[in-house]
Chains A and B, each alone.
Chain A
Amino acid sequence: MVFTFILVPLVMASLMPLIGKISKKFLPDILTNITLLFLLIYSITIGRQIISSGTGIRQLVWLGQQLNITLALDGFSLLMLFLISLVSFAVGLYCINYMEHYGSKAVFYALFLLMIAGMNGLVLATDLFSIYVFLEVAAVASYALVAFGLGYDELEASFKYLMLSAVATAFILVSIALIFGFTDSLRLHDVALAFQLLNAKYLVGLCVTLFIFGFGLKAAIVPFHAWLPDAHPSAPAPISAMLSGVLIKISGIYAITRIFLNVFGLNPAISTVLMYLGVISILVGAIIAFSQNDIKRMLAYSSISQIGYIILGIGLGTPLGILGGLFHLFNHGIFKSLLFLNSGAVEQATGTRALDKMGGLAKRMPITAATSVVGSLSIAGVPPLNGFWSKLIIIIALVQAKAYGFAIVAVLASGITLWYYLIIQRQAFFGKLNETWNNVKEAPFWMSASMIILALICIAIGILFPIIIKSWLVPATNVLSAGVYYTINLFRF
């Protein structure tokens, strides 16, 4: 049952504070991680089973009566569900040790599970207003999670994030209201069909602009990125991993992609706008990341740059471009989460995020250093790791489409990415050990385990990429490549 993806984390979240009354740490740790493992296995087994028989449009039946809850599970939404489940499971393991000193673990897990329920709901929704509602579920939970440390920086970052998200939401709602005014419906199928009948290029242009403002802010595409370099570094490391690894992709990229490609249809104008936004994000993110001394801030700017690659690939609109964009989206979810978890381990061990104060930590934290090397090389696109293949596919797609200028920028920015990740490695982990850190110890067991899992996934995807492409990415690409006709033909219910 597809509704399980929403119901299980929602129910567990509601129970978590009560569970926290019985056991402050043990039961919340165990039950949250069992829930996350269940969702991961469910997305792999049941999810694949459902979409193997065509699009998994499901109307919920409860006690023999049909409820009006209609969810759609297809190749694209399943890829997103898999990414959410995979990253959140690794992050859940990490939280067992990392969140010890924050206190109120049960409430933390409740918010964490709500964020997951919100993202799952957004991915499965077949109606524009439902997309907005679940966007808010994930957003409200994430504001609290960013501020969870209760420090000045955390509260300020959370407030900034909340304010800019409210602006984003206003743009999204105005666009939804306009669409409703012209079509009398909010169902993706109806809207897609209506826009085909109306042939309303002005209306599409206006709605696209409003959605780019709204979802672009959520995805932190340049020039809507101002909140991200504050919010992501200030949050606890596992939440930074979730925000950069998953949330900006689901609430920004997924929504833009689904609506622009499957509802409006990607025309040359939208494609050009997306590609320019992508390439500007790539450059601006990479150049600003280069000059950062705070490791988490550098990673945050790097996220903006990598989101640019994803938008560039998807915006290109060719099947290969879409495949490359989705592959990079998936890969970035894995290695950026890993890198934020690495930075959290370093911050917890040393108490600093300043790169110039670190040095030689590989001698004291070999697992963190080794996994960080894997993450850094992956994101920089060094073969044979996963980031190399996704960037290569995007660049090949750009060359095939004769977008040589964009391809050159993508290659050059990849070089800059490698450069600043090598700076992280050299300043934080290698070189002479800073004597201040003589007593520093490796991250605790569960933190190390989660970092190892993500690093191994980076390597495994790099080696087994044809299997991943065939089994997970091609079905997702097919959904998006089919464009509006996919929604009109298969979202009928």
Chain B
Amino acid sequence: MIQTLLLTALVIFSILAVLLRDLLKAAISLAIASIFLAIIFFRMNATYAGVFEISVVAGLITVLFVSTIALTKSDGDVRESKVVSILFPIFFVLFIIIDIFVMKTLLNRLMVVRYPAPTGNFGQVLWGQRTLDLVGQIGVIFAGVFAVIALFRKRDKKDE
């Protein structure tokens, strides 16, 4: 029951983050959604995932969003197509129906193969068994940093 309530709250605040036109409110909704997700992680014994979700997504990223919004001047309202506000609920309801159908009807009937779970604590699994992913993560971080440098660079006068 609590799990269902938490999941419902997560979905509601995620939708608000997308639909709210005020960026500040949208960022706060995202942070609240993230806190609900973190609680779900904790309840499912994924402690590290919960800690990262709260500290990075609900904390650090929200601070970055709010700071950026505070530092950015409004450039006037951008007109958005009304089609989105009509289509979104339709797609959302369709998604929920398909999701329930798939999860309850199809997947419950299937057997599961259990390979031995990774042994060791979080650090051992992360450093010892997901080493290649860490190399990839370094690549993602570099790409993000260089993307910021490239996109916020000053152009030479002759290029402008």
Contact = CB atoms under 8 A, between A and B. Distances in A.
B158 A198 contact: no
A141 B143 contact: yes
B111 A104 contact: no
Given A111-B150, A144-B147, A136 B113 contact: no
Interface in A131-155: 133-134, 136-137, 140-141, 143-144, 147-148, 150
Contacts of B139: 10, 114, 117-118, 121, 134, 137
Contacts of B117: 184
A206 interface: yes
Interface size class of A (residues with CB under 8 A): 35 or more
Contact of B110 (A141, A147, A200): A200
Nearest to A190: B115
Contacts of A71: 132
A186 to B, nearest CB: 10
B59 interface: no
Interface residues of B, number: 36
Contacts of A127: 132
Contacts of A130: 132-133, 136
Given A67-B131, A114-B146, A185-B115, A107 B153 contact: yes
Interface in B76-135: 102, 106-107, 109-115, 117, 128-133, 135
B159 interface: yes
Contact of B136 (A17, A60, A101, A134): A134
A206 B108 CA distance: 13
A407 interface: no
B110 A182 contact: yes
Contacts of A67: 131
Contacts, number: 131
Contact of A103 (B107, B132, B159): B159
B75 interface: no
Interface in B144-160: 144, 146-147, 149-151, 153, 155-156, 158-159
Nearest to B111: A198
Contacts of B136: 118, 121, 130, 133-134, 136-137
B32 to A, nearest CB: 21
Most buried by A among B109, B110, B136: B136
A184 B115 contact: yes
B8 interface: no
Mostly, the B contact residues are helix
A176 interface: no
A141 B158 CA distance: 26
Nearest to A181: B112
A247 to B, nearest CB: 13
Contacts of A17: 146, 149
Given A125-B132, A143-B147, A183 B138 contact: no
B49 to A, nearest CB: 13
Contacts of B142: 10, 13-14, 110, 114
B3 interface: no
B150 A144 contact: yes
B146 to A, nearest CB: 5
Interface in B26-41: none
A68 B143 contact: no
Contacts of A70: 132
Nearest to B156: A103
Interface in A262-293: none
Contacts of B64: none
B140 interface: yes
A107 B131 contact: no
B67 interface: no
B40 to A, nearest CB: 14
B137 interface: yes
A129 interface: yes
A69 B130 CA distance: 8
A108 interface: yes
Interface in A178-199: 178, 181-185, 190, 193-194, 197-198
29 contacts: A14-B142, A60-B131, A69-B131, A69-B132, A69-B135, A70-B132, A103-B156, A107-B153, A108-B150, A111-B150, A114-B139, A121-B135, A121-B136, A121-B139, A125-B132, A130-B133, A136-B136, A137-B140, A140-B143, A141-B143, A144-B143, A144-B151, A147-B150, A178-B107, A182-B112, A184-B112, A184-B117, A194-B115, A202-B106
Interface of B: 102, 106-107, 109-115, 117, 128-133, 135-140, 142-144, 146-147, 149-151, 153, 155-156, 158-159
Given A13-B142, A17-B146, 7 more contacts: A10-B139, A68-B131, A69-B131, A114-B146, A118-B139, A134-B136, A198-B110
